[in-house]
Homo-oligomer: A and B are copies of this chain.
Amino acid sequence: MSHAATTASRNARPDIAEYLAESIFSGRYGPGDFVPKELDLCEQFGVSRSTVRSALQTLVAAGLIKRISGQGTRVCELANWHLLDPQVSAWMAKFAQPNPRIQREIFAFRVAVEPFVARLAAEHATAADLLAIETAYEGMIHALERDDLRWKGQTHDEYDVAFHEAVFAASHNLVWAQISHVLKPAIALLVEKSNHSAHELNDSMERHRRVMEAIRLRQPEQAAAAALAVLERTGRDLGLEDLIRALPILEDQTTIG
């Protein structure tokens, strides 16, 4: 093995796929552009073609790039990206922050989907689903009471994400459950970025509690409205509240006053 490559590969391999993904999401390589050829990447990262090709294939599977034999590797149009691939979703949560368009569209999607899923959950949730939701909820509560925001090893934010996942699972449909996996990084990001003052957290908890209660009481409409209210709080912290106001679902008050 080579002396120079040792430190690079031993300490922290830069994960070529992730590096390229970051390059694309940040716009350094735009749609239609060519990315460096395999041998250049080999030299740049000090790895073999196998490794580089492996990384590139990950991006191909994500729909980010398209490889043309003999010609090169070019970035695909945004519309062809597999936004619903969990891998892509994770990258987006990591790198697409400065991209306001994507950020908005994802949030708009959540605003459309989560109330709908909450409605389904209210109709189909079993006792086991309720237990999972309540466990996550209790985790959020208990974690808040600790100084380090941890309870049984998990943080408040992790319980928050688990809460949303449990609601998706309660819809009892494979595809909706998949969407929760896709949305998980996005949810985690927003949860993490939203403000964490004491007052806001109490307010957020109360909104979560209403979702849980509506699902338990088999009240689909209330569940949808409550889920929307949760998003409304999150969206307000990120300056995206306009996406919510345009919704048809709002029936009564959403504490805007």
> A185 an interface residue at 8 Å Cβ cutoff?
no
Closest 3 CB pairs of A and B: A61-B61, A84-B84, A109-B175
Task: Decide: B85 and A82 in contact? CB cutoff 8 A.
Answer: yes
Cross-chain pairs A/B with CB under 8 angstroms, 20 sampled? A50-B50, A57-B57, A57-B61, A58-B61, A63-B86, A79-B177, A81-B178, A82-B178, A84-B85, A84-B175, A102-B174, A105-B174, A106-B175, A109-B173, A109-B175, A112-B116, A112-B120, A116-B116, A123-B248, A220-B248
Write out the residue numbers on chain B whose beta carbons fall within 8 Å of the beta carbon of A112: 116, 120, 173, 176
Interface string of A45-85 (1 = CB under 8 A from B): 00000100110011001110000000000000011011111
Task: Decide: A179 and B84 in contact? CB cutoff 8 A.
Answer: yes
| Nearest opposing residue in chain B for A122, CB measure | B248
A78-B174, A109-B175 given; 6 more Cβ-contact pairs under 8 Å:
A50-B50, A61-B62, A79-B177, A81-B178, A82-B86, A123-B248
| Nearest opposing residue in chain B for A81, CB measure | B178
Copies, count: 2
Within 8 A of B (CB), among A158-209: 173-179, 182
> A87 an interface residue at 8 Å Cβ cutoff?
yes
| Nearest opposing residue in chain B for A78, CB measure | B174
Q: How far is the CA of A81 from the CA of B53 in the complex (A)?
A: 23
Write out the residue numbers on chain B whose beta carbons fall within 8 Å of the beta carbon of A50: 50
> A119 an interface residue at 8 Å Cβ cutoff?
yes
> A108 an interface residue at 8 Å Cβ cutoff?
yes
| Nearest opposing residue in chain B for A116, CB measure | B116
Within 8 A of B (CB), among A83-126: 83-87, 102, 105-106, 108-109, 112, 116, 119-120, 123
The 8 Å CB contact of A175, one of B86, B87, B105, B116, is: B105
Task: Decide: A61 and B87 in contact? CB cutoff 8 A.
Answer: yes
Task: Decide: B248 and A83 in contact? CB cutoff 8 A.
Answer: no
